[in-house]
Amino acid sequence: MGLILDKAPAILEHIPGGSIVVTTLDWAINQSRANSLWPLAFGTKCCAIEVLMATGAAHQDLSRFGAEVARHTTRQADMMIVAGTIVKKMAPRVRLLYEQMAEPRYVIATGSCAISGGPFMYNSYHIVRGVDEVIPVDVYVPGCPPRPEAFFWGLLTLQRLIKQGETIRKPGIRTKPVLSALPAGMTAEQVREEIARELERENVVDVNQAAERLPWAAKVREWIQNHSSQP
């Protein structure tokens, strides 16, 4: 499998007899990590069958992304794909498996149940409302169940996170893809302020103007005036 070099912080140096590529150690390590993810063979409910088995089959071919080497032991796995509902009895086991995985380790929450508890969280006492209450999650893949293409999107997003968001100088400190994609000079605080202003603008309503836009508002007002004027 080849490496994508469109954003490689590398310099090609020509020397007698050939050339050599000079780059940073962070970039080389992160490229290797991103393109050789070893997922843990782990599933908690139906998404493990509906999504993971489909992506590993020949038609979808997970091996195109270098992540088909599923390991049955946490000592050899660095990616956990949470596929399915987590019940409170299972939560300590999920945390234990995560703690036993090799560093650096990554987590993808696949499907509505793993993200928020799904439809099973209503009127139930035993469902964990999202696996991020138990372990930290790097990428969320919504759907019930997600299509294999959605899972591949999550995997590619995780690869981008690994390539751009971690340095060996600060192990365990990552920048999520959304923050990595911000324009130069823009901070997350500026984004929050912009969102707050937009929400305030969209949610301030002039009642009279809103009523005028309703097709039945004039008839209702006319009916009220006619009936209120009667003795």
Q: Where are the domains of the chain?
A: 36-180, 188-229
d(CA 173, CA 223): 65
Q: Where are the alpha helices (DSSP H) in 107-212?
A: 112-116, 148-165, 177-180, 188-202, 207-212
Q: State the maximum Cα–Cα separation within the chain, in Å, rounded to a whole number.
A: 106
Q: For 39-96, how does the pLDDT look when each residue is reduced to its tens digit (9 = 90+)?
A: 887 777 777 777 777 776 667 777 777 777 777 888 888 888 888 888 888 888 888 8
Residue 129 has pLDDT above 80, yes or no: yes
36-180: which CATH architecture? 3-Layer(aba) Sandwich (3.40)
Residue 224 has pLDDT above 70, yes or no: yes
